[in-house]
Structure 1
Amino acid sequence: MQLLSSRKWRAAAAGAAALALILTGCAPGDSTFSYTPPAQVDGDLPEQILVPLQDAVTAAMAAAGASGAIVGVWVPWSGSWVAALGTQEPGGAEISTDMSFRIADVTRLMTCDVFYGLVDDGVVKVDAKVPDYVSGVADMKDVTLVDLCNGTSGAGSSEEIVKASWLNTPEREWGPLELASYGLGRTRVPAHTTYRDSDAGYLLLGLALERASGMSASALIAKYVTGPLDLKNTSLPGRTAAPPSTGPVLNGHYLNPVEGGYDCAAPVDITKLSASSGFTDSGAVSTITDLGRYMQAEAEQALRSKKQPDRFAAPLAAYQDAPSWLQVTGGAYLVGSMVGQHGWTPGYATAAYSDPTTGFTVAVVLNDSTAGNAVVTALAWELAAIASKAPAASGQTAPEFGLPFTAEQYHEQIAAAALPCVAPPAEEPAEEPEG
């Protein structure tokens, strides 16, 4: 397979250079904030790494029914790869690396950043009770705000109940408590000690932080996350249905089911959506370079002004019988030494991970959400496994860095999760009227 064009490689180099900026801005508490990302080799990853990376993305696009993907891989000791593969829709215009997209559950990380920023500033307490800040949830009297961030509130998820409404009425503006109520109405599991993937919890946390601060969730993310890190293309949009940004946008889609599978040839465009469908759980938008920069800072917990309480001190198993290297807490999945998130929102599936010690970072978005997060998560981990083997560039020394899984393992998972694409049944011709 041919590698990407020189135009796209120049975009990759620009993306790598952008990550190397020293970021200075206003930090929580009006103190001076600066963040220096890990030193990054200014150049492309070697071809023996680039070829399997591109092959992995192409295979995942086919498996997910996506026409396009934007990906960033930063290996500080070796080089980088920032690329846009595919088109806006089948047979459509090529996509580019500067396009904005919805980052789905990576938003949870930002919501927890705001929470810990308010804790560090003395605005809220870690163990504050949820009903102190959110009305209508008196049955959560023993649940704390940190439970909401950690995913240990015991609450269920609204996703499966409201998914059809998201797809059929993307312009609908949701109230956060209304949206959360579908998850809150499900059977609870014991709080504090068991992780449960709950969008409702992060919606409630966003409401609580708005109430505690007197600021909107969008303004809070700007103050505690995107402002300090100078993420100019990252935000939590307002409630009005709109594309992810006013600039270049990656179009988002889903596939209609047909007998035997999905109609992959005619994806349904859902680029224009109300961010209220995700709010502080999955409503934020970004670009691939911003996302990579954010993940490097996030993995290091660079936004914290205090070291205690430790956000990642007490991780839990991601699910029953999960491998020991896959844990979750603080709004993040801990995958070996990497910190990150993955998920889907109507039109997009996104995953992003970074290693806090080396700055090794992987971020990827697919422009179709039909497969949920299964394919994009496996893809991010496959890319990480491939890139972790990158040799050191001239004058560099590769760190002792490895992952507890192989690329082949997740390549096989992607193949197993592939959506069946079938042609919709042909319409029967209308009968000619007699006479």
Structure 2
Amino acid sequence: MASDVRPALRARRAIAAIALGMSALLLAGCGNVAGASVTAIGAQTGDRMPSSTTKQLQHVLDNAVKLAGASGGVAGVWAPWSGTWTAASGHASREKNAAPMDVDASFRIGSITKPATCTVLLGLVGDKKVKLDDPVSTYLPRMVGLNGLTLGALCQNTSGFADYWGELAPQMVTNPTRTWDAVELINSGLGQARTGAPGQKWSYSSAGFVLLGLALQTATHESWPSLYEKYVTGPLGISDTTTLPSTSALPSPVASGYAADRDPVTGATNCKVLDDDTKLSPTAMQQAGGLVSNLTDTASLVHAVAAGALLPDELAAQQQKSVIMSKSMPSWAQYGLGVEKMGPLIGHASAVPGYATAAYSDPKSGLTVVVMVNNSTPGANFARLVALQLASIASKAPAESGKKQPAIGLPWTAQQLGAVLPHETGCNAAGGALTPALAAIADIQPEY
């Protein structure tokens, strides 16, 4: 199992991350969430966390790869008071004699695209090009069935707009290179009953994000690669995050991605067959989940969003203003504008076909965690719980000399999450009942 990277690669990432930190610091001068530590990742890269902590973190990653039935995975933790840990586990593919998983491997970050998409929306609001309460029909007047939908509600999943995932996901898994038109995905949502009146309740909808993408593209007359570059990747200076690539090829080095086969008609999962979804078309998720990235770029993205470094103060605060997802879930699991709030952590989780990924950051301490396993079958909550387990361990990492360990109030323990994870593997889930508290953690949404 690889617990570090080659010196040259590590040095390259350190330089890039320091540049990221400086870029975020400049942005912070324009406005960011009070108390945010926007330079945490850059400032701490190269300072290795104590071995007593990294051994625990590596065990979590290795165990996650095993439980997920993945060939490999990558993870990273950035703790400003203690240091940094990045690691790979297993192999880059399921092929015979496959190379070890590379900590710099590229993968599809899926729904971690959503924080970027909603940052674009808020950036456009700041530039007075749109408003959060603008009706979607203002920009798509020829599309029927949009009554009551607003741009902001689509970002917060409170519009009541139905999703395409249940209907189309089996086809995306079994035929990953198929090209999907935005209107085709939107029509799948339009063809189903609303999940509720606008603003009535939270209901996850990737179709809503694709609809938002089409509306903003129409409003601005700009492409989404251009919008992401202008409001997200450009200001951050990150170069390994690809904005909706025109092909299904991933930049090298590549982590291959797999998912249990799905019957295109019934949707039934066949756990005995794993489909290779490495070349999933980015059109399958679009503004809901089309971005490709790597470990450090993903960390920098979620860290900047959590710190509010990409937006003026009032808009950053608006992005993090959250609603509960369900009364059956823990009260600390909430949703803002394209961001999950798990206790004090802000980010997102995803299970786009091929990859289960989660990334979160604490605005106050700068603690940032990212994890990816290359089998999406267990679902987004599996990756989410692994990331929260890493965060729990890292939050207790001893401080370096001259620094103070922050008090991070996480409403869960690594032991609790470790008990839930075997129940979240999808195909080989453990039997037996969970306590009500643990069952609520196992039921956190969204699932992709």
| TM-score of the aligned structures, taking structure 1 as reference length | 0.87
* 1:408 paired residue among 401, 412, 415: 415
Cross-structure match for 2:158? 152
Cross-structure match for 1:48? 52
1:398 equivalent to 2:405? Answer yes
Higher share in helix: 2
Query: How far 1:226 moved relative to its partner?
Result: 0.4
Q: Please, what is the CA RMSD of the aligned residues?
A: 2.8
Tell me, in whole angstroms, the C-alpha distance in 2 between the residues paired with 1:322 and 1:412.
17
Other structure's SS at 1:327 match: strand
Other structure's SS at 2:415 match: helix
Tell me, in whole angstroms, the C-alpha distance in 2 between the residues paired with 1:225 and 1:364.
21
Contact kept, 8 Å, 1:16 with 1:82, in 2: the verdict is no
Q: Deviations over 1:207-242 (max 9, x none)?
A: 1110011011121111110011011011222443x2
1:88 equivalent to 2:92? Answer yes
1:253 equivalent to 2:258? Answer yes
Tell me, in whole angstroms, the C-alpha distance in 2 between the residues paired with 1:146 and 1:180.
17
Other structure's SS at 1:195 match: coil
Greater shift in the superposed pair: 408-417 or 130-139: 130-139
Tell me, in whole angstroms, the C-alpha distance in 1 between the residues paired with 2:241 and 2:412.
31
Tell me, in whole angstroms, the C-alpha distance in 2 between the residues paired with 1:42 and 1:402.
26
1:110 equivalent to 2:110? Answer no
Query: How far 1:391 moved relative to its partner?
Result: 0.9
1:375 equivalent to 2:379? Answer no
Give, as a single letter, the amino acid of the residue that structure 1 aligns with 2:257.
G
Other structure's SS at 1:54 match: helix
**Unmatched 5+ stretches in structure 2:** 430-448
**Percentage identity across paired residues of the two chains:** 35
Cross-structure match for 1:19? 17
Give, as a single letter, the amino acid of the residue that structure 2 aligns with 1:372.
G
Cross-structure match for 1:433? none
Contact kept, 8 Å, 1:238 with 1:276, in 2: the verdict is no
| TM-score of the aligned structures, taking structure 2 as reference length | 0.85
Cross-structure match for 2:240? 233
Give, as a single letter, the amino acid of the residue that structure 1 aligns with 2:271.
Y
Cross-structure match for 2:368? 361
Other structure's SS at 2:166 match: helix
Cross-structure match for 1:182? 188
Query: How far 1:251 moved relative to its partner?
Result: 1.0
Tell me, in whole angstroms, the C-alpha distance in 1 between the residues paired with 2:311 and 2:3.
40
Residues 186 and 8 (structure 1), Cα distance of their counterparts in 2 relative to 1, 3 Å cut: farther
Query: How far 1:420 moved relative to its partner?
Result: 4.2
Cross-structure match for 1:262? 271
The within-5 A match list for 1:27-426 is 37-38=39-40, 39-40=43-44, 42-90=46-94, 91=96, 92-135=98-141, 137-188=143-194, 189-240=196-247, 242-245=248-251, 247-256=252-261, 262-263=271-272, 267-305=274-312, 307-308=314-315, 310-312=317-319, 314-420=321-427
Contact kept, 8 Å, 2:177 with 2:279, in 1: the verdict is yes
Other structure's SS at 2:61 match: helix
Query: How far 1:393 moved relative to its partner?
Result: 1.2
Q: Deviations over 1:286-341 (max 9, x none)?
A: 11011111111110111114624832464111222322211111101111111100
Tell me, in whole angstroms, the C-alpha distance in 2 between the residues paired with 1:158 and 1:260.
18
Other structure's SS at 2:347 match: strand
Q: Deviations over 1:129-160 (max 9, x none)?
A: 01111255433222210111111110122111
Q: How many residues align?
A: 412
**Unmatched 5+ stretches in structure 1:** 423-435
